[in-house]
Amino acid sequence: MKSQDFIITYTKLMFSPLEAKEQDIDITDIAHALSLMCRANGHIRHFYSVAQHSINCLLESKIRGLSEKVQVACLLHDASEAYLSDITRPIKRSLPQYIEFEDVLQNKIYKKFRLHDLTEQDFIHLKEIDDSMLYYEMLELMGEKIFAEEPVLLSKPDFKQRRFEEVREEFLRHYAGLISKI
């Protein structure tokens, strides 16, 4: 493997995002990287991480009474970004090859964490929660309503600025508490 073909992860794995091996996907790497990655490319009032967003999505799915499997999917729905980086929606839509890379890696992540059999309805719930959370993040962190209609949100998300270590550990606690149930 050439040096330009891999990244070195937090746990010191040489990880090839474009030729990822399921055994190299690590929940610690995911939690660590996402806790250091700012939502909206940093165009918000204060640091708020992708991991915080993922935790808030998980908590919303729990309040909605969705299965533990969907809850884990909500926690991990942006996990590919730990290896590929986060790209804003308007740019991502213009990069079909990136979308393909992201889909392949995200599917490997779902398979690794026993989420390979999510249903179409599970993905509909996941997208609804992700979009709702995005709306309320932008409202809270930018004072902007990004959709014409206010989406449903049953939880009370925490949008405060938090230390990344604290967020990483909370992400890992939620994961550990749920993964044995699916």
Tens-place pLDDT, residues 77-100: 999 999 999 888 899 999 999 999
Asked whether the CA dihedral 82, 24, 105, 19 is positive or negative, the reply is positive
Q: Which of 1.10.3210.10, 3.90.920.20, 3.40.1710.10, 1.10.10.60 is the CATH number of 26-179?
A: 1.10.3210.10
**pLDDT tens across 139-151, in order?**
999 999 999 999 9
Positions of the chain with pLDDT lower than 70, given as ranges: 1-3
Q: For residues 50 and 33, what is the distance between their CA atoms, to the nearest angstrom? A: 9
pLDDT at 125: 98
pLDDT at 86: 85
Mean pLDDT of the chain: 96
CA atoms within 13 A on the CB side of 57: 30
Q: For residues 146 and 136, what is the distance between their CA atoms, to the nearest angstrom? A: 9
pLDDT at 89: 87
pLDDT at 3: 52
Give the residue carrying structure tokens 């330009």: 4
DSSP helix/strand/coil, 58: helix
Q: Which helix (H) or strand (E) holds 60?
A: helix 50-63
Contact 115, 73 (CB under 8 A): yes
